[in-house]
């Protein structure tokens, strides 16, 4: 598996049927539309001024809404994932 560095997060995009359960629908067609996904792994976060990582604001298993631009796609054991910056995560499903 992959361990993200810095404030990066590894997410797996949710399929349509999974998303319908939560009642949250995102406009799929739009180019810059947000996406819904599950957090698979998180980085240690940015460093504070003493050089200690500050953590990130999501945790493994969270269902998140993230901006669809800027992430980097990787395929692990046949599954597609996305490495995104914490800043690109807009909200967490409660």
Interface residues with its own copies (CB under 8 A) are 1-6, 8, 10, 23-27, 34, 43-44, 47-51, 54-55, 57-58, 65, 67, 72-78, 83, 86-87, 89-94
Closest CB to its own copies among residues 15, 80: 80
Asked whether the beta carbons of 26 and 65 are under 8 A apart, the reply is: yes
CA 5 to chain centre: 13
Closest CB to its own copies among residues 15, 81: 81
| Distance from the first to the final alpha carbon of the chain | 27
Closest CB to its own copies among residues 15, 66: 66
Angle at 46 between CA 88 and CA 65, to 5 degrees: 20
């Amino acid at each position: 598996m992959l361990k993200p560095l810095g404030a990066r997060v590894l997410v797996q995009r949710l399929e349509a049927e999974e998303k319908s359960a939560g009642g949250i629908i995102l406009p799929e067609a739009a180019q810059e539309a947000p996406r819904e996904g599950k957090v698979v792994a998180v980085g240690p976060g940015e460093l504070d001024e003493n050089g200690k990582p500050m953590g990130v604001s999501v945790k493994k298993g969270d269902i998140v809404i993230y901006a669809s631009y800027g992430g980097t796609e990787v395929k692990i054991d046949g599954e597609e994932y996305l490495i995104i910056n914490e800043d690109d995560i807009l909200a967490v499903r409660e």
